[in-house]
Amino acid sequence: MGLGLEESLRLSVAALMQATGDSQRVIAGVLGLTQTQISRRQSGATSWTLRDVDVLAGHYGIAALDLLAGPTRACEMLPAARRRTANAAGKGVAR
């Protein structure tokens, strides 16, 4: 059996954060939440909302269904302009 939707979404968000260099603080700002609330969502203590999915998909420039399809699909659909560059990754620069 595959991953459940909640776990798949958590993995997608984590993968996109890694690919773009976004921190939980950045995601919190995008969603109008606190870093602690993002941490609770990512740990599974609190569920992501449909509004969160819509806003995150817009932030990453992908369709909501691609975000829900899992980390591989979400990262494949991430626009190149949103990806962290190799140079920035080496310097630990986060957006």
pLDDT tens per residue across span 11-61: 999 999 999 999 999 999 999 999 999 999 999 999 999 999 999 999 999
Assess contact for 44 and 55: CB atoms under 8 A. Answer: no
Q: What is the phi/psi pair of residue 47, to 5°?
A: -85, 145
Decide which of 89 and 65 is more confident.
65
Q: Measured between alpha carbons, how far is 6 from 19 in angstroms, rounded to an integer? A: 20
Decide which of 87 and 26 is more confident.
26
Decide which of 89 and 49 is more confident.
49
CA 33 distance to own-chain centroid: 14
Q: Measured between alpha carbons, how far is 73 from 62 in angstroms, rounded to an integer? A: 10
Assess contact for 14 and 42: CB atoms under 8 A. Answer: yes
- Model pTM? 0.86
